[in-house]
Amino acid sequence: MTDTMNKKLKRISESDRISEYDHATQKTLEEIDAIQNELDTINEKASEEILQIERKYNRIRKPHFEKRNQLINSIPNFWVTAMMNHPDLSNLFSGQEEEDCLHHLTKIEIEDFEDIMSGYYIKFYFDENPYFENAVLTKEYHLGNDPPTSKSSQIIWKEGYQLGQNTQETTNKNSRKRRVDCLKTSFFNWFNDNIDPYTDDFAEEFKDDLWLNPLQYYLVADGQEEENGIEGEEESSSDDNDDSAIPEDQSGTNSQSASSSLTGRTV
Amino acid sequence: MTDTMNKKLKRISESDRISEYDHATQKTLEEIDAIQNELDTINEKASEEILQIERKYNRIRKPHFEKRNQLINSIPNFWVTAMMNHPDLSNLFSGQEEEDCLHHLTKIEIEDFEDIMSGYYIKFYFDENPYFENAVLTKEYHLGNDPPTSKSSQIIWKEGYQLGQNTQETTNKNSRKRRVDCLKTSFFNWFNDNIDPYTDDFAEEFKDDLWLNPLQYYLVADGQEEENGIEGEEESSSDDNDDSAIPEDQSGTNSQSASSSLTGRTV
C-alpha cells in the first residue's frame, strides 16, 4: 500500500516538526495527529467497503455487458459508428484509410482488473483484414503502478500498411502539445502511445462513457447534427426541442449535448 | 430524481430513432436498449449502496472531527495558519486587513447534508472582532439543485468595515475571468460569491483537502519553503530528501509537494 507508506513517512516528518513547539502545544498537536491517524484508518476501511461494492456490481454487470456484446455483434459497424458519432472519440480518425480499417472492429471489451484499483484493460477485436494480423488489440492501464503505466499489444502490420505513425510527424519529439495533437488525430497513434496514462483522456472516454452506453452514440441525437450544420441521412425531426430541453446529466453517461464533429449517422 | 428523468426522456428519443431501422435491426437495438435499462437499474442500486456506506462512515468520522476541533481550539491561529500555508487557500488573503480579520477565525466545521448527494455546508466561527457582528459565517452548497446553487450568511459589517468588496473592482461584471481573479484574492469575495458553485474550487479545497488533514498545513513541510526560497522561522532540516522522495498521494490528502506561495510558517 503505497498510500499508507506515504502517510507513515509523512507522519514521521510531522513528528519532527511537532517537537519544535512548547510542551503544551506539542501535546495537543500530538493528540490531533493521533486523531488524524484514526481518521486515516477509518478512511481506509471506508475505501475497502466501497471497493467491495464496486467489485460486487462489476460481477453483476458482467453478464449484461456480455449479452450486449452478442447483440451488438449482429449490427454491422456498430462500434465504428458509435466512435465516429462520439464528441471526443471522433477525433481518433486520421483519415479514410484508418476509418476503413476500423470498419473491421467487431467488438470492444473493457474490464477492471480483479483488484479494481490496479487498473483495467480495453480489448479491440478485429475480423480478418488487409491491415494487420492481430485478432485482438489490447491496451492495459496499470494504475496501481508508481507511476501508472500502460501497455499495448504490438501490432503486426501486413505488408504495405502501418497506420497512424506518419500522421503529423513531429520534428520535436519532446513537445507534449505536439504529442497530444498527434494522438488526437489517430486511433493507432493513441493505441501505441504509452508515455503517460494520466493524460490519456481517450481511454477514459472509452471506459467511462462509450462503454457505459454505446447505444446513445450509435443512435445520434438530431440536436447534435443540427448544431454542427450536418444533415446526415436523417430527416429533421420534430423532437429537437425535447432534446435541447434535457438538462446535462451529472453521471457522465449522457453527453449527447456536447459539441461534436459528426461525420454522419451511420458509416 | 432528475437523472432518472433525463434517462427516461433520452429513452423516448432513442425509441423514435430505433423505429427508422429495418425490422431485424430494430429488434436488436431494442434488446440492447433493454439491457441499457437493466444496467441503469444496476448502477442506481450500486450508487445507493455506496451512498449508504459514505453515510455510515460520515457518522463514524463525526466524533473524531468534533474531538479534533476541541483540540484545535486550544492552539491560537490554527486555522488561519493552515489556510495561509495551503497552496491554494493561501490565495484567499487580499491583504493585511483581511489577514488580521481572519485571525479571529476560531473554528471551521464542514459537513455533508443528511442526504449526502444534496450538498454540504462550511461554517466559519469567529470570536468577537472589530470587523463584523456574526459569530458564524455559513456557506451552503446545494448540489442537488438544478442547477446547483450556493448561499452565504449575510455579513453584518461593523462601521468602517466591509472587507473584500473593493478588491480588484472590475469594470466588466460579466467577465468570468475577472470574477475568478477577484475571488482568488479575497476570502470575503469568495465567501459572498454565489454565481456558480461548479467553478468554486476553493470550496472543494476546504472540504476535500484542508478539512481532511489541516495538521499537515499547520505544520508546513520544509521542502515547500525551500522550493519557494522562503526560509520562514524554521531552520533548514536534514530530512528534505525524505520529503522529496514521497511520491504523490492519489487520495488528494497529501498535497504538500504542490508548489505554494507560502507566507511563513506561523502567522
Contacts 24+ apart (CB under 8 A), B66-71: B67/A35, B68/A32, B68/A35, B68/A36, B69/B107, B69/B108, B69/B109, B71/A28, B71/A31, B71/A32, B71/A35
Query: Could A35 and B64 be called an inter-chain contact, meaning their C-beta atoms sit closer than 8 Å?
Result: yes
Q: Based on the structure, what is the number of domains in chain B?
A: 2
The whole-number pLDDT of residue B176 equals: 56
Q: Would you say B151 and B193 are in contact if contact means Cβ atoms under 8 Å apart?
A: no
Interface of B with A in 71-100 (CB under 8 A): 71-72, 74-75
- B118 and B38 belong to one structural domain: no
Residues A189 and A95 in one domain: yes
Integer Cα distance of B121 and B106 in angstroms:
17
| Grid coordinates of A75 | 449490427
CA distances to A179, B64, B77, B119, B126 from B138, in Å = 46, 21, 19, 13, 11
pLDDT at B16: 73
A39 touching B (Cβ < 8 Å): yes
Query: Helix/strand/coil (H, E, C) string of A194-206?
Result: CCCHHHCHHHHHH
B115 and B47 inside one domain: no
Residues B64, A39: C-beta atoms closer than 8 Å: yes
Same domain as B147, residue B86: yes
A201 at interface of B, judged by CB pairs closer than 8 A: no
* Amino acid residing at B82: A
- At residue B144, the pLDDT reads 87
Mean predicted confidence (pLDDT) in A4-13: 60
Q: Is the peptide bond before B147 cis (omega within 30 degrees of 0)?
A: yes
Tell me which residues of chain A, numbers 144 to 173, contact chain B at a CB-CB cutoff of 8 Å.
146-147
Q: Does one domain contain both A103 and A217? A: yes
- A46–B53 CB contact, under 8 Å: yes
Q: With 50 as the cut, is the pLDDT of residue A97 above it?
A: yes
Determine, for residues A12 and B237 on separate chains, whether the beta-carbon distance falls below 8 Å: no
Q: Which residues of B touch A107 (CB under 8 A)?
A: none
Which residues in chain B have Cβ-Cβ distances shorter than 8 Å to A250?
3
Q: State the pLDDT at residue A148.
A: 92
pLDDT at residue A259 in the model: 31
Min Cα distance A97 → chain B (Å) is: 27
Q: How many whole angstroms separate alpha carbon B258 and alpha carbon A98?
A: 41
Give the domain extent around B167. Answer: 76-231
Whether A117 has its CB under 8 Å from any CB of chain B: the answer is no
B119 lies in some domain: yes
In a domain, A161, yes or no: yes
Cβ distance B92 to B202 under 8 Å?
A: yes
- How many angstroms separate the CA of residue A120 from the nearest CA in chain B? 17
Instruction: Return d(Cα B145, Cα A64) in angstroms, integer.
Output: 32
Residues A52 and A18 in one domain: yes
- Chain A residues lying within 8 Å of B218, measured CB to CB: 29
Interface contact flag, A39 B212, Cβ < 8 Å: yes
Residue B125 and residue B56 share a domain: no
Q: CB A12 to CB B243 under 8 A?
A: no
| Alpha carbon distance B161, B133 (integer Å) | 11
Q: What is the 3-state secondary structure (H, E, C) of B177-203?
A: HHHHHHHHCCHHHHHHCCCCHHHCHHH
Q: Is residue A173 part of a domain?
A: yes
Per-residue pLDDT tens over the stretch A170-222: 444 455 555 555 556 799 999 999 988 888 899 999 999 999 999 999 998 54
- Asked whether residue A250 is assigned to any structural domain, the reply reads no
- B132: which DSSP letter? B
Counting one residue from chain A and one from chain B, the pairs whose CB atoms sit within 8 A come to 151
pLDDT for A244 equals 34
Please tell me if residue B230 touches chain A, with a CB cutoff of 8 Å.
Answer: no
**Residue among B9, B29, B219 whose CB faces A17 most closely:** B219
Stretch A54-67: mean pLDDT, rounded?
A: 96
Range list of H helices, chain A: 2-18, 23-72, 78-85, 96-102, 176-184, 187-192, 201-205, 215-218, 222-227, 240-245
Is there a single domain that holds both residue A67 and residue A83? Answer: no
Residue A266 is assigned to a structural domain of this protein: no
Q: Do the domain assignments include residue A252? A: no
CB contact under 8 A, A246 and B54: no
E strand or H helix that includes residue B214: none
Residue that is last in its domain, among A51, A72, A93: A72
Q: pLDDT 10s per residue in chain B (267 long)?
A: 455 556 655 666 677 777 778 899 999 999 999 999 999 999 999 999 999 999 999 999 999 999 999 999 999 999 999 999 999 999 998 888 899 999 999 999 999 998 878 899 999 999 999 999 999 999 999 998 889 999 999 999 998 888 887 544 444 445 555 555 555 679 999 999 998 888 889 999 999 999 999 999 999 854 454 444 333 333 333 333 333 333 333 333 333 333 332 223 444
Does residue B45 share a domain with residue B2?
Answer: yes
Asked if residue A109 lies in contact with residue A68, where contact means CB atoms within 8 angstroms, the answer is no
The pLDDT-based confidence of A162 (bands split at 50, 70, 90) is confident
CA distance B121 to chain A (A): 20
B68 and B163 in a single domain? The answer is: no
Indicate whether A203 and A164 sit together in one domain. Answer: yes
pLDDT 10s digits, A226-263:
444 333 334 333 333 333 333 333 333 333 333 332 22
The answer to ipTM > 0.85 is: no
Domain boundary among A28, A46, A72: A72
Cβ–Cβ contact B63 with A under 8 A: no
Contact between chains at B28 and A246 (C-beta distance less than 8 A): no
Residue A201 within any structural domain of the chain: yes
Contact predicate B168/B185, CB 8 Å? yes
**What is the pLDDT at residue A9?**
59
* Interface touch B239/A6, C-beta < 8 Å: no
Question: Maximum CA pair distance of chain A?
Answer: 79
Percentage of chain A with pLDDT > 90?
Answer: 55
Say whether A54 and B61 touch across the interface (CB within 8 A).
no
Of A16, A39, A72, the last residue of a domain is A72
Q: Report the chain A residue with the minimal C-alpha distance to residue B266.
A: A21
Strand order in the sheet with B105-112: B105-112, B119-126, B136-142, B149-152
Sort out which chain A residues have CB atoms less than 8 A from B57's CB and list them: 42-43, 45-46, 49
Per-residue pLDDT at B3: 55
Q: Report the first-to-last Cα separation within chain B, whole angstroms.
A: 47
CB A152 within 8 Å of CB A137: yes
Tell me the pLDDT of chain A averaged across its residues. Answer: 78
Task: Give the β-pairing of A149-152 and B105-112.
Answer: unpaired
pLDDT grade for A223, boundaries at 50, 70 and 90:
very low
Residue A177: exposed, middle, or buried by beta-carbon count in 10 A (0-12, 13-18, 19+)?
exposed
Please name the amino acid found at residue B193. Answer: D
Q: Do B134 and B208 share a domain, yes or no?
A: yes
Whether A9 sits inside 8 A of B246 (CB atoms) is yes
A107-118 per-position pLDDT tens digit? 999 999 988 788
The CATH number covering residue A167 comes to 3.30.1120.90
Instruction: Evaluate if residue A29 carries a pLDDT over 70.
Output: yes
- Pick from B9, B28, B251: CB nearest A74: B28
User: Would you give the DSSP letter of residue A208?
Assistant: I
Contacts of A107 (CB under 8 A, 6+ apart): A69, A72, A73, A79, A123, A124, A125
Task: Check if B180 contacts A (Cβ < 8 Å).
Answer: no
The verdict on residue B55 lying in a domain is yes
